[in-house]
A and B are shown apart, each in its own frame.
Chain A
Amino acid sequence: MQPVLKIDNLSVQLPKGADRQHALEYVSFEVHPGEILCLVGESGSGKSVTGLSVMGLLPKGQLTPVSGQILLQDENLLEASDERLRDLRCTGMSMIFQEPMTALNPVMRCGDQIDEVLRTHIRLAPKERTQRILRIMEEVRLPEPKRLINTYPHQLSGGQRQRIMIAMALVLEPVLLIADEPTTALDVTTQASILQLIRDIQRDHQTGVLFITHDFGVVAEIADRVAVMQWGKVVEFGEAKQVLSNPQHAYTRMLIGSVPSMTPSQRERDASAQVVLNTSGLSKTYSERAFFRSTRTVHAVQKVDLEVRRGETLGIVGESGSGKTTVARCIARLTDPSSGEIFLDGKEIGRLRTGQLRPYRRRIQIIFQDPYRSLNPRRVVGDSIIEGATNYGLPRDKALERARSLMELVQLDPNVLDRFPHQFSGGQRQRICIARALTMEPEVLIADEAVSALDVSVQAQVLKLLDDVRKHFNLALLFITHDLRVAAQICDTMAVMSQSKVVEYGLTRDVFTNPQHEYTQSLLNAAPGKGWDFGAFLAP
């Protein structure tokens, strides 16, 4: 069978002064009709550059293809003129992106955006175009196409927006669909339905799909064949089952071995340990007061009761908007709770004012999601780490000494304290943030999606570090995540949140093996690649 896309020895040069010479080096693979090829790799591996090269969307002057060819049904795209490429987009090849909110025009109706594709490429009467738009919207399983045709992107949910994107991409039935992390920004239940949709449409239309992802769960769910990329090269290529169950290349083995298992780890739990932190009826309501309008209230968190013991990890799991981060922020007192109590060692701290709170602040520390924004870019990391300790009266040299020993604990060189954050990678920065939290000698450590922004291999290491730190200092760890795999590995107990309420709360093992609430069950069912136990392949 003739491939729809054949990439042959493609090399793309990076601008001078980048960390390596080539974004892509001698990349070759083929995508056949009716096949889903997954391009997997960590950030910076060149997987998106591959997709953009095919579409002819590489930033001009920065990334230049220097050798090889890209054949779309035997036509070399690298030699095609701009007009020809423009013609081919949507008719021959289409691309969908990670963030559907920014990929859609916010001031144009969804129907018109699909219509634009039709108007640009083919001649049809307005009535026929509308028919065609309605048909494709139905096909991507959008409810009430007649109504949605007149809505603006902000009126739709994230999943619906991605469906509109898919409708735009597929309305002219291209032979190749490039999907660049199309489900990464979506919640896990939405992700599952979008993956299902892509697979169904691809099967019905025999479209070749180049699916770019970093998530091995998604790969296991959707891929026919897999190409693993590292530093701009394809290091492993093969049938999905083959690569996932018997990876050959060391890098693939390491990547797959780093994917946390869905089977909860069996951990001893000391039920007699002292309760360090508990909340009772914790609620947070936002109310928006405005002139000429009635007050609008939003319940971000409703009546949450949690408790964490010393040396124990409590996971709060939920999709975006479920209120899990608000709970963390209330406990860290970055947000004031509207009602309910927070007890730290039996002392109520939820209603203390700034001055009274000061001695307790030290004992609860928080680590944030984005390692690039949680360190002040203008201060050397040493100053960031010791800031807290000096706030509480520790002399600078003593604080620096403590910082040095903590840097060793988080496995960083203590001699780099005088460097700026931009000189560190994401994982290293997250380690620095952990060190900063630890200088305060806290009793409760809150990790708010602390590993979500990291690549899977780094994620595994930071997770291990967090767990080591918990043991070492006998900390109570409050771990907030949307990722069930991560939760399964690190949490002793977990609370599942949905629509601002805790719907299920219990031992991690029980929640995973015997979920009671309907929502927990759907969450567990939607987890991509749930049938695969990746960690099991990691040969000792």
Chain B
Amino acid sequence: MSAPEESPIALEVDSAASAAAVSRPRTVLQMLVRNPSVCFGGVVLVVMLLTALLAPFLGTIDPSNIDPIYRNKVPGTERMLRLDDGSEVPITHWMGTDMLGRDVYSRVIYGSQISLVVGLAVAILSIAVGLTIGLVSGYIRWLDGIVMRIMDGLMAIPGILLAIALMSLFNAGLGTVIFAIFIPEIPRVVRLVRSIVLSIREEPYVEAAISVGTSVPLILIRHVLPNTIAPLIVQGTYICASAILVEAILSFLGVGIPPEIPTWGNIMAEGRMLFRVFPHNLLYPGIFLAFTILAVNVLGDGLRDTLDPRMAKRLG
């Protein structure tokens, strides 16, 4: 006598069920679009990205153009700007000018370029490096102890102190800042990846792959790596947010990107002295910074809720 589930009818039912399921959100993309946090965070970030890319076309002037006559003007001040060819154009300082007469609006818009580059570069680099180390250290047992002790060591270094040390050792610049921020992020990614690898490596399907003779690199790429993608995307957004923030902090402290390059942190550092009289120097970059971080974090939360429902339930 045959059980119902083993008959060919069962397979028919299967396909009917999956056909019926099409109307529900099935693909990851559909699920993401339905999540309000992902939508909000995503839209804000895209707008920020476009702003950064299109900075020269958004009514900005040269952000390092110094004009002592027009220093410390309040937002909304109008004036004529003399261009290199001698002609004059009327401009409005929407966010006022700083103590050297530079246009704060242009500086904030150009500053978004640096912030986003730092955020994305740190996120991508730390995930790439952390993923590689984590996969290898999680899967190859004898390496694990050594690698994790090195990671413990790295975690013990305060990030900002490391940045200050690196700045005084090497040229202060974008590359050094990215390097200084991404090194302390590595151990966190490694730990995350390693914990996933440690649980996946015990799965019977990985053991099945071993017993059919799949080589270690192939096992890592085929069977283990796909399980780390979703948590890493989520982790990546948090790293990105914290990197943008740390870059601003470093610039504010004067140990980050050189002051002649406009970054949100630099603008705020320079506006600090006259904050009581002319708060706009601090206010506008501050708003941009806060809004970007908020967007990235909200996007990360939304991604976590959709990509890792179990974790969302635990936290909720």
By a beta-carbon cutoff of 8 Å, the part of chain A in contact with chain B is 17, 19, 250, 253-254, 257-258, 332-334, 358, 361-362, 364-366, 368-370, 373-376, 378-379, 384, 387-388, 391-392, 411, 413, 416, 419, 423-425, 427-428, 433, 436, 439-440, 455, 457-458, 461, 538
Contacts and interface: CB of A to CB of B under 8 A. Distances in A.
B210 A334 contact: yes
Contacts of B227: 378
A436 B208 contact: yes
A523 to B, nearest CB: 27
Contact of A254 (B3, B210, B211): B3
A382 to B, nearest CB: 14
Nearest to A230: B4
Contacts of A258: 3
Sort A-B residue pairs by CB-CB distance and give the 7 closest, nearest first: A388-B212, A374-B204, A457-B3, A368-B204, A254-B1, A391-B213, A376-B205
Interface stretch (B6-14, B171-179, B289-297): B6-14
Contacts of A358: 213
B71 interface: no
Contacts of B77: none
The dominant DSSP class at the B interface is helix
Contacts of A370: 204
Interface string B93-135: 0000000000000000000000000000000000000000000
A440 B212 contact: yes
17 contacts: A334-B207, A358-B213, A364-B211, A365-B212, A366-B208, A373-B203, A374-B208, A376-B222, A379-B222, A384-B208, A387-B212, A391-B218, A392-B213, A411-B6, A436-B208, A440-B213, A458-B6
Given A375-B208, A538-B1, 10 more contacts: A17-B24, A19-B17, A253-B1, A334-B211, A365-B212, A374-B205, A387-B214, A387-B222, A427-B5, A458-B5
Nearest to B206: A376
B8 A413 contact: yes
B192 interface: no
B213 A425 contact: no
Contacts of A375: 205, 208
Contacts of B21: 17
Contacts, number: 94
A366 B204 CA distance: 10
A423 B6 contact: no
Interface of B: 1-3, 5-6, 8, 10-11, 13-14, 17-18, 21, 24, 203-205, 207-215, 218, 222-223, 226-227
Contacts of B207: 334, 366, 368
A428 B5 contact: yes
A433 B203 CA distance: 14
Given A368-B204, A379-B222, A423-B18, A391 B212 contact: yes
Contact of A391 (B1, B3, B214): B214
Nearest to B20: A17
A425 B5 contact: yes
B54 to A, nearest CB: 38
B232 to A, nearest CB: 15
Contact of A387 (B6, B17, B203, B209): B209
Contacts of B17: 19
A425 B210 CA distance: 24
Contacts of B211: 332-334, 361, 364-366
B208 A458 contact: no
A366 B207 CA distance: 9
A19 B4 CA distance: 14
A424 B212 contact: no
A455 B17 CA distance: 22
B181 to A, nearest CB: 33
